[in-house]
Structure 1
Amino acid sequence: MSTYFAICPRGLEEHLLEELRGVGGEDLRTTHGGVFFTGDWSVCYRANLESRLATRILWHIVKGPYQKEEDIYRLAVRQLWPNHFDVTRTMRVVTTAIKCPLKSLDFVTLRVKDAVCDRFREDRGDRPNIETRNPDVSIHVFLSENECTLYLDTSGQPLWQRGFRKASVDAPLKENLAAGILKITGWQPGTPLVDPMCGSGTFLLEAVQMALDRAPGLDRGFAFEMLRNFEAMNWANIRQAAEARVKPAEPMDIRGYDIDDKAVRATRRNLQEAGFGNVVTVDQGDLLETQPLTDHGILVTNPPYGERIGEQDELAAFYPELGSALKKHWAGWNCFFFTADLRLPKLVGLKPSRKTPLFNGPLECRLFEIRMVAGSNRKV
Structure 2
Amino acid sequence: MGKMTLIATSAMGIEAIVAKEVRDLGYECTVENGKVIFEADEKAICRSNLWLRTADRVKIKIGEFKATSFDELFEKTKALNWGDFLPENAEFPVIGKSVKSQLFSVSDCQSIVKKAVVENLKKHYKKQTNWLEESGPFFRIEIALLKDVATLTIDASGSGLHKRGYRVGQGEAPIKETLAATLIKLTNWTPDRPFVDPFCGSGTIPIEAALIGQNIAPGFNRGFASEEWDWIGKSIWDEARQEVEDLAKYDQPLDIMGLDIDHRMIQVSKDNAEEAGFTELLSFKQMQVSDFTTNKDYGVLIGNPPYGERLGEKKAVELMYKEMGKAFSKLDTWSVYMLTSNENFENIYGKPATKKRKLFNGFIKTDFYQYFGPRPPRDN
TM-score above 0.5, yes or no: yes
State the partner residue of 1:21: 23
- Aligned residue number for residue 377 of structure 1: none
2:332 matched residue in structure 1: 331
1:33 alignment counterpart:
34
Code of the aligned partner of 1:312: K
State the 1:337 CA deviation.
0.5
| Residue aligned with 1:310, SS | coil
Which letter does structure 1 place at the counterpart of 2:353? P
2:91–2:139 Cα contact (<8 Å) kept = yes
Secondary structure in structure 2 of the residue aligned to 1:176:
helix
TM-score, structure 1 as length reference: 0.91
Checking the alignment, whether the CA contact within 8 Å between 1:9 and 1:360 is kept in structure 2 is no
Per-residue CA distance 1:319-339 (angstroms, 9 max, x = gap): 222222222x42221100012
Deviations 1:195-243 (A, max 9, x none): 0110011111111111111111111111222334113212211211211
Distance of 2:354 and 2:175 partners within structure 1 = 24
Q: Which amino acid aligns with 2:117?
A: V
How many residues are aligned here? 369
Match of 1:359?
Answer: 360
- Aligned counterpart, 1:62: 63
For residue 343 of structure 1, what is the aligned residue in structure 2? 344
Classify 1:241/1:286 alpha carbon distance in 2 versus 1 (closer, same or farther; 3 Å): same
Alignment partner of 1:322 is 2:321: no
1:127 alignment counterpart: 132
Q: CA RMSD in A?
A: 2.1
**Residue aligned with 1:234, SS:** helix
Q: Which residue of 2 aligns with 1:226?
A: 228
1:232-277, Cα deviation, whole Å (9 max, x unpaired)? 2122112112112222257521111000011100000111111110
Q: Secondary structure at the match of 1:288?
A: helix
- Flag structure 2 segments of 5+ consecutive residues without an equivalent: 376-380
Give the match for residue 163 of structure 2: 161
What does residue 90 of structure 1 align with? 91
1:309 alignment partner, SS class: coil
Task: Kindly provide the amino acid, as one letter, of the partner of residue 202 in structure 1.
Answer: T
Q: Is the 8 A contact 2:359 2:365 kept in 1?
A: yes
Code of the aligned partner of 1:305: Y
1:339-372: per-residue Cα shift (whole Å, max 9, x none)?
Answer: 2222211222210111111122332221101246
The answer for the alignment partner of 2:72 in structure 1 is 71
Aligned residues with identical type, % of pairs: 30
Q: Which secondary structure state, in structure 2, belongs to the residue aligned with residue 266 of structure 1?
A: helix
Residues of 2 paired with 1:31 and 1:298: CA distance? Answer: 32
Q: Secondary structure at the match of 1:149?
A: strand
- CA deviations 1:127-150 (Å, max 9, x no partner) are 25499xxx8211121211021010
Pair 257,228 (structure 1): closer, same or farther in 2 beyond 3 Å: same
Corresponding residue for residue 378 of structure 2: none
For residues 192 and 370 of structure 2, the distance between their equivalents in structure 1, rounded to whole angstroms, comes to: 20
Structure 2 counterpart SS, 1:95: strand
TM-superposed CA distance for 1:45, in Å, is: 1.6
Contact 2:192/2:253 (<8 A) preserved: no
Q: Which residue of 1 aligns with 2:154?
A: 152
Deviation at 1:90, TM superposition (A): 2.2
Q: Which runs of 5+ in 1 are unaligned?
A: 375-380
Q: Secondary structure at the match of 2:317?
A: helix
Contact (CA 8 Å) 2:308, 2:317: kept in 1 or not?
yes
Once the two structures are TM-superposed, the CA of residue 98 in structure 1 deviates from its matched residue by 3.2
CA contact (8 A) 2:62 2:81 kept: no
| CA deviation vs aligned residue, 1:282-336 (integer Å, no higher than 9, x gap) | 1100001111241221100101122222112322333222222222x42221100
Which deviates the most, 276-285 or 243-252? Answer: 243-252
Specify whether residues 73 and 130 from structure 1 end up closer, same or farther in structure 2 by C-alpha distance, changes over 3 A only: farther
Q: Aligned letter for 2:271?
A: R
- Is 1:295 the equivalent of 2:297? yes
Distance 2:365 2:34 in 1: 13
One-letter code of the match for 1:173?
A: I
- What TM-score do the two structures reach when normalised by structure 2? 0.91
Letter in 1 for 2:59: L
Quote the Cα distance in structure 2 between the aligned partners of 1:368 and 1:180: 14
CA shift at 1:118, angstroms?
3.2
For residues 69 and 347 of structure 1, the distance between their equivalents in structure 2, rounded to whole angstroms, comes to 56
Q: 2: CA distance between counterparts of 1:101 and 1:350?
A: 50
Amino acid at match of 1:356: R
